[in-house]
Chains A and B, each alone.
Chain A
Amino acid sequence: MRYILKRLLTTIPIIIGVSFLLYVMLNIVPGDPVALMMGEHINPDTIERVRARMNLDDPLLLRFVKYLLDALHGDFGYSYKLKREVSTLIWQAFPNTLILAVSGALVSWIIGIPAGIISAVKKNTWIDYAVMTFALIGVSMPVFWAGLLGQYFFGLKLQWLPISGFDGLNIKYIIMPAIVLGWSAAATIARLTRSSLLEVMSSDYIRTAREKGLLRHQVVIKHALKNAFLPVITVMTIQVASLLSGAVITETIFGIPGIGRIAVSAIQTRDMPLLQGSVMFATVLIILGNLLADILYGFIDPRIKYH
């Protein structure tokens, strides 16, 4: 309990540090959001006038302190490009990303874990090779390519699923992006589960269990898996956290209005308030993901205790 509180407290300096670094980096590189807003229609007088109104000419540190104070009051500023409050944009996009991330993660677990176990149990058989080839393709194939192939065959040619778009929890729109997103994650999990399980299976206590007369599947499920799962869980939780901070390519290809799209548009348009907001949001998610992984360790392996 105290450990969790301590961990949560340590996130505060991390978040401030990340946001300060980002603020400095965004401001020291050349470029001007107002010039960008005007684009081809550049008018030097208008740029200077609008810059001054937006306080962009104030010293960097002063602007950062102002930003931080406003952020503490829940005001993360207005997006230059999307002209809306940053917090509103993030909270509106998050449920969409959440749906995508959870469904992507489920696909990866449902495929990845059994595949890894089967592969380990049937080590060096054709099943192992088939599963690992499937995993290798998943890891190697870029998401955009898998996405385009899926759109072409299942969307355009077979017309089983919509090519693009999003409609809340409407499963029709989620299946394809979830599989595309989940496949590469499943591949990582399968490979990790396999190698970890193989390592555990060669330990003394497994041999003892087998010699005691326990059935093979009992040994695998009851004894080996629990220990083999530690590294897998780390990967799984971090994967979910990073999926929650936006699966940029999947969201772009399938037209899902999530966090990833917002972050990319913020980067491309040097939309500082929006970029700052989305990076801080991602930071919090990653920290929570790590914390969750640490806590789950304690459950799976009682030897791990935190102070």
Chain B
Amino acid sequence: MKKKLIALGLVVAMLFALTACGGSNGDEGASSTSSSSEATGSTAEKVQFVVPYDEDPGTADVAKTTEFYALPLNMFDRLVESVTVAPGKSELVPGLAETWEVSDDGLVYTFHLRKGALFQNGDEVKAEDVYFTFDRMLDPATEGLNTDFFDMISGAEARMNGEADSTEGIKIVDDYTLEITLDEPFGPFVAGLATPAGSVYCKKAVLEAGDQFGIDPALTVGSGPFKLAEWTVNDKIVLEAFDNYWGGRAQYDELVLKIVPDAETARMLFESGEIDVFNCDMARSQIPYFESNDKWKELIVSGPRVGVYYICLNQSIEPLGDVRVRKALQMAIDRENMLAQMFYGKGQLVNGIMPPGLYGYNSDLPEIPYDPEAAKALLAEAGYPDGFAFEVAQETDSPNTLKINEIIQSDLAKIGVDVTITQLDESTFFGIRKTGELPSYYSSWSADFNDPDNFIYTFFTEKNAVSRSFNYVNADIQQKIEDARIMTNAEERIATYQEIEKTIVHDDAAWIPLFELDHLFVVQPYVKNYTVAWNGWSDQSYYSIQIEK
């Protein structure tokens, strides 16, 4: 019995040690949470704007993420900012750079920094910080993911390959002047710097923080309107208004990103007033409910998404190598029906790659008709009178995509094409896609910056056509894509992009354009000045919002 008691004691001690360990670490987390809740309690009058976020973004550092931009857009500034001037319309305005010029040959950009703009640690923003931030992105030790906004700078390639210790093309002229030289002219360079990838960091803070920059609130410093104050992983992120922001303090005290992975929970939290905005992308099926509800119908804010939904056709998988087959598929999908069934008609059909609202959008493209009979005839001409087996891939955790694919399946069945839907986990999906071997798939792309390059180059250069599993080959067009990048005459450049687009979609049928969708949000009655970002992103700057409780 004695032995048993000792044994039991040992086990209890062991479990206690285990939980105590957890407890001690957890205490830190708990204390930070409770201190914050104390803080919240003691300053109960703090005005908050609470936004739901469906997963923890992990970091605010744009060198480490390419998709979670709510934090960088609110914590950091860029040299130039892209602001929404009307639904679906943007303008480049001065950010940390008050003015900038481009040399006549389009190679040298000179940025004149705003004097007196402060980082949240009190230091002034200087050209050295900008140099450091851009060079850090290219430094191979950073493992930066957003290098493609900087790789056109002279010396960027050598820096990325580890052959140089600095980026030759970025020069600090003085504390407030920075000169950037490109290898070749690149029209959308400034627009690219206005994306979250161009966020400017404080050199001193980044060096002190090391790998904790963008993660640890105490060590993360920006010059933006909000400062990172608290981060509880998978729970919430609190940002405080920065009193000395150069553009003036935000009109409320705290911006809170509440992590809510479940859409239904998010809707209930919104209805009970615990969150201030509901993103209808989280649950599109709720759109009719909000639209018919007396309390909410006037509080819906909507804007176009400068983006396009499309079907990628992998031409290396037969019979998709035959242009007649691809044209038949284009004509066999009832896009109008898909838009009505899945998205309550909230959007418009597109017939190209560049969506309405994008600089260079061509509204004169011929319409792709829904014509199953003509599609059948084309298939017969191509030697497939009885259709063929067609595989469509998608990610497993996307029920909306599955519904779309089922509509595609049913539409194509009418012309004899037998569609199999293959579901892959996200990692496998992207892992196979980059090899060029992913079957055809439905997806979307919205603008990072307002330029055709962001759409055409992204999908159809020789390398990108493979890494996105299009396997589109047209040497002439692909050369034109490279040429258009370095053109300095704006009109000529746009005309070239429109010609490229027409060939890819209407002659080569390498892409099935579907539609552009509106992005709907519902806000609480006390939230004023909420606008949908020009590109329709869920992530945007919340600086100009007003809370009138």
Measured CB to CB, the nearest residue on chain B to A87 is: B25
Which residues in A have their C-beta under 8 angstroms from that of B19?
Answer: 98
Q: Is B260 located at the chain interface by the 8 A CB criterion?
A: yes
Where chain B touches its partner, the secondary structure class is: helix
Q: Is residue A12 within 8 Å, beta carbon to beta carbon, of the partner chain?
A: no
Residue B178 lies at the interface, judged by CB distance under 8 Å to chain A? no
Contacts of A255 in B (CB 8 A): 235, 258-262, 265
* Residues on the B chain within 8 Å of A91, using CB: 21-22, 25-26
- A36-B431, A83-B64 are known contacts. Are A94 and B22 too (CB-CB below 8 A)? yes
- With A39-B430, A268-B425 given, is the CB distance from A1 to B233 under 8 Å? no
Q: Are B15 and A299 in contact (CB under 8 A)?
A: no
Q: Is the CB of A252 within 8 A of B143?
A: no
Q: 1/0 per position for A266-278, CB-CB distance to B under 8 A? A: 0011100000000
Docked pose: A84 CA to B25 CA in angstroms: 14
Give CA–CA (A95, B24) in the complex, Å: 9
Residues of chain A within 8 A (CB-CB) of B55 are 265
List the B side residues contacting A83 at CB < 8 Å.
58-59, 61, 64, 211, 214-215
* Residue from B21, B65, B260, B434 in contact with A42 in the complex, judged by beta carbons closer than 8 Å: B434
Chain A residues contacting B26 (CB-CB under 8 Å) are: 91-92, 94-96, 98
- Let me know if A33 and B427 touch, CB within 8 A: yes
* Closest CB in chain B relative to A244 CB, distance in Å: 9
CB-defined contacts of A148 to chain B, threshold 8 Å: 264
Quick check: is B467 within 8 A (CB to CB) of the other chain? Answer: yes
Mark out the residues of chain A between 207 and 229 whose CB falls within 8 Å of any chain B CB in the assembled complex.
none
Question: Does B426 lie within 8 Å of A269, measured CB to CB?
Answer: yes
Contact A36 B268 (CB under 8 A): no
Per a CB cutoff under 8 Å, which of B61, B233, B274 touches A257? B233
Q: Bound state CA distance, A83 and B56, in angstroms?
A: 11
* Chain A hits for B429, CB < 8 A: 31
**Bound form: Cα–Cα A270–B64 in Å:** 16
Query: What CA separation (Å) do A148 and B429 show in the bound complex?
Result: 31
Query: How far does the alpha carbon of A43 sit from the alpha carbon of B160 in the complex, in Å?
Result: 14
| Closest-CB distance, B40 to chain A (whole angstroms) | 10
A88 touches B25 (CB 8 A): yes
CB nearest to A264 among chain B residues: B261
Q: Using an 8 Å CB-CB cutoff, how does the interface string of B197-224 with A read, 1 for contact, 0 for none? A: 0000000000000010011000000000
**Which positions 72-90 of chain A face chain B at CB distance < 8 Å?**
78-79, 81-84, 88-89
B431 to chain A: which residues have CB within 8 Å? 30-32, 35-36
Q: Is A163 an interface residue (CB 8 A)?
A: yes
Query: In angstroms, how far is the closest chain B Cβ from the Cβ of A194?
Result: 28
Do B443 and A155 have beta carbons less than 8 Å apart? no
Determine whether the beta carbon of B467 is less than 8 Å from that of A155: no
Contacts of B466 in A (CB 8 A): 44
Asked whether A41 is an interface residue with its Cβ less than 8 Å from the other chain, the reply is yes
Q: Bound complex: CA of A298 vs CA of B3, how far in Å?
A: 11
Stretch in contact with the other chain, from B6-14, B121-129, B359-367: B6-14
Are B21 and A270 in contact (CB-based, < 8 A)?
A: no
A246 CA to B235 CA in the complex, in Å?
A: 16
Q: Is the interface of A mostly helix, strand, loop or mixed?
A: helix
| Nearest residue, chain A, Cβ from B25 | A91
Contact A41 B66 (CB under 8 A): yes
CB-contact partner of B261 in A98, A261, A298, under 8 A: A261
Question: Which of B10, B33, B58 has the most C-beta atoms of chain A within 10 angstroms of its own C-beta?
Answer: B58
The complex places the Cα of A155 from the Cα of B268 at a distance, in Å, of 8
Which one of A92, A268, A291 lies within 8 Å of B397 (CB-CB)?
A268
User: Which residue of chain A has its CB nearest to the CB of B271?
Assistant: A156
Contact A49 B160 (CB under 8 A): yes
Which A residues are in CB contact (< 8 Å) with B211? 78, 83
The docked-state distance in angstroms from the alpha carbon of A37 to that of B28 is 29
Assuming A37-B145, A167-B37, A292-B11, is B234 touching A93 (CB within 8 A)? yes
Q: How far is the CA of A255 from the CA of B23 in the complex (A)?
A: 20
Q: Which of B8, B22, B143, B397 contacts A95 (CB 8 A)?
A: B22
Interface residues of A in 14-64 (CB under 8 A from B): 29-33, 35-47, 49-50, 53-54
A163, B426: Cβ atoms closer than 8 Å = no
Known: A39-B66, A261-B234. A168 touches B269 (CB 8 A): no
Q: Is the C-beta of B433 less than 8 angstroms from some C-beta in chain A? A: yes
Nearest residue, chain B, Cβ from A251: B234
Q: Which of chain B's residues have a CB closer than 8 A to the CB of A84? A: 58, 215, 233
Residue contact A269 to B427, C-beta cutoff 8 Å:
yes
Q: Is the Cβ of A92 less than 8 Å from the Cβ of B25?
A: yes
* Chain B residues with CB under 8 A of A31: 425, 427-432
- Contact A37/B66 with A31-B431, A42-B434, A295-B11 known, Cβ cut-off 8 Å: yes
Q: What are 20 sample pairs from A and B whose C-beta atoms fall under 8 A apart?
A: A30-B428, A35-B427, A36-B426, A38-B145, A39-B66, A41-B148, A42-B467, A44-B463, A83-B59, A89-B233, A92-B29, A92-B233, A148-B264, A155-B268, A159-B272, A163-B265, A163-B272, A253-B262, A268-B425, A270-B427
**Residues of B bordering A, CB below 8 Å:** 3-4, 6-8, 10-11, 14-15, 18-19, 21-23, 25-30, 33-34, 37, 55-56, 58-59, 61, 64-67, 140-141, 143-148, 160, 211, 214-215, 232-235, 258-262, 264-265, 268-269, 271-272, 274, 397, 425-434, 443, 445, 448, 463-464, 466-468
In the complex, besides A39-B430, A40-B66, A265-B56, 15 extra interface pairs with C-beta distance below 8 angstroms are A35-B430, A37-B66, A40-B67, A43-B147, A45-B147, A53-B143, A81-B58, A82-B233, A95-B23, A96-B26, A151-B264, A151-B268, A163-B272, A164-B262, A168-B33
